[in-house]
Amino acid sequence: MATVRSSPVAALTGTLRVPSDKSITHRALMLGALSEHAVGVDMPLDSADTAATANAVAACGADVDGLLGDHVVVHGRGVRGLRPHPAIDCANAGTLMRLFSGILVGQDGQSIILDGDASLRGRPMARIARPLRAMGASVFTAPGGTPPLVVSGGTPLRAMRHELTVASAQVKSAILLAGMYADGETWVVEPAPSRDHTERMLAASGVDVMRDGDAVGVRGPVARLDLPDMAVPADFSSAAFHLVAGALRADPDVRLQGVNLNPGRTGLLGVMRRMGADVTVRETAPVAGEPCGDLVVRRTDGLRATDVEAAEVPSMIDELPLVGLLAAFATGVTTVRGAQELRVKESDRVRTTVAALRGMGVDAQELEDGFSVMGQGRVPGGAMESAGDHRLAMLGVVAGLASDDGVSVGGFEACEVSYPTFARDVAAIGGVRA
């Protein structure tokens, strides 16, 4: 297990194009595999998670040329044309396991086992198995509702209307993808908006995607899917680490180019501004049907504490640990509530975020559905463990850059899941890693 030390710096500055969007790359590979033709994808994310998806679609007969280089070609086999391997390794990719289940229930053939690493084996999958079974699919989990999954295709699927109790783009997407194989309208009702990458990409591929208030639906059965050639924008969740680092140390500024600004992903911007951070958005042309722009962040002293409520959580679910770090540099108590979904991420991110902050000398407390941080305007420094969670590993590095004495980060190799070039990019804007 790799341990790195992130040392404090006086200033960060520079321009970055962070790696491409992980969510978009996953979906481009999967929907490309279902298309009637070869689909070109420029600038896909090359990471452990997306490599698992590329390998999965290839194992189902959809060859991927230029495996996660600057340009890949997915050779589609049609909506019902996949020929799945009987065992698919999802590694650490929960997005792959959940979305691909919604696709595999519409394929003809044998039972398929979807499995993953120890972290993925601890994540909840009953939340997709139950609605898919309600549609008539054969989907079963291990005892306790966790992986491995056993998915069988070929059974007739029923259209339905499903109400989510917790906003989840992955569960929503699994149901909508299965809805392509059902006869009629399949609807998903969300308690709060979540990222809509799947809906945008399905609509661009010729699928009839419908919206009605807080519900989104697809009309099936879908006979043909034609995903156009596309480029992948930069990932907001990866840019977020540099946004927070910049808010703490940018002089004169840190600039992040071509970032995906899907409104279901950018809740952190509102929270940062509420805390007093100086962040500017300069909109650019859409990429892959997604709103995009350049972000400019400047150092802000005197950050203010804030509260994050449940309705805000879906739009920043991956960035909430960073809110905890910002809160440590603010003055006063910051509370995050309605974030119980954090407990079933790559780690229990309520527990691991609080443990990481405490390891750096921060006063942080676990709540059942979130956490609270008593900000003192500074982080003393210390040591923390990533717990195998890529976002915690990167959080530790950002914390060290603005801390008093630096932070040792155990398990830094977890960054490979989503941001393999993170250390290089931190160094490019002036960060020092010993």
- Report whether CATH 3.65.10.10 matches the domain 3-20+233-433: yes
107-111, 197-201, 224-228, 398-402: segment of lowest average pLDDT: 107-111
Report which of 265, 243, 266, 247 is spatially closest to residue 256, judged by C-alpha positions.
243
Name the pTM for this structure. 0.95
| 150-195 pLDDT, tens digit each | 999 989 999 999 999 999 999 999 999 999 999 999 999 999 999 9
Mean pLDDT over all residues of the chain? 96
Q: Tell me the CB-side half-sphere exposure of residue 363, using CA atoms within 13 A.
A: 10
Domains 3-20+233-433 and 23-231 fall in the same CATH topology: yes
Report which of 206, 226, 196 is spatially closest to residue 74, judged by C-alpha positions.
226
- Mean pLDDT of the 380-393 span: 97
pLDDT at 104: 98
In percent, how much of the chain has pLDDT > 90? 96
Is the predicted pLDDT of residue 432 greater than 80, yes or no? no
Q: Which helix (H) or strand (E) holds 174?
A: helix 169-179
Using an 8 Å Cβ cutoff, are 283 and 292 in contact? yes
| 115-148 pLDDT, tens digit each | 999 999 999 999 999 999 999 999 999 999 999 9
Is the predicted pLDDT of residue 433 greater than 60, yes or no? no
Is the predicted pLDDT of residue 434 greater than 70, yes or no? no
Residues recognised as catalytic: 318
DSSP line for 271-320:
HHHHTT-EEEEEEEEEETTEEEEEEEEE--SS-B--EE-GGGGGGGGGGH
Beta bridge partners of 16: 256
Using an 8 Å Cβ cutoff, are 109 and 153 in contact? yes
pLDDT at 102: 98
Q: Where are the domains of the chain?
A: 3-20+233-433, 23-231
Give just the sign of the alpha carbon dihedral 144, 145, 148, 150.
Answer: positive
The gap from C-alpha 90 to its chain's centroid, in whole angstroms, comes to: 15
User: Within 10 A of 85 (CB to CB), how many other CB atoms are there?
Assistant: 16
The confidence band for 311, taking pLDDT boundaries of 50, 70 and 90, is: very high
What is the C-alpha separation between 77 and 287, in angstroms, rounded?
A: 25
CATH architecture of 23-231: Alpha-beta prism (3.65)
| 231-269 pLDDT, tens digit each | 999 999 999 999 999 999 999 999 999 999 999 999 999
pLDDT at 69: 86
- Mean pLDDT of the 374-395 span: 97
Is the predicted pLDDT of residue 417 greater than 80, yes or no? yes
| 337-384 pLDDT, tens digit each | 999 999 988 889 999 999 999 999 999 999 999 999 999 999 999 999
The gap from C-alpha 29 to its chain's centroid, in whole angstroms, comes to: 15
Non-local (6+) Cβ contacts of 62 within 8 A are 32, 33, 74, 75, 76, 77, 82
Is the predicted pLDDT of residue 310 greater than 60, yes or no? yes
- Mean pLDDT of the 45-49 span: 96
The confidence band for 423, taking pLDDT boundaries of 50, 70 and 90, is: very high
| 62-109 pLDDT, tens digit each | 999 998 889 999 999 999 999 999 999 999 999 999 999 999 999 987
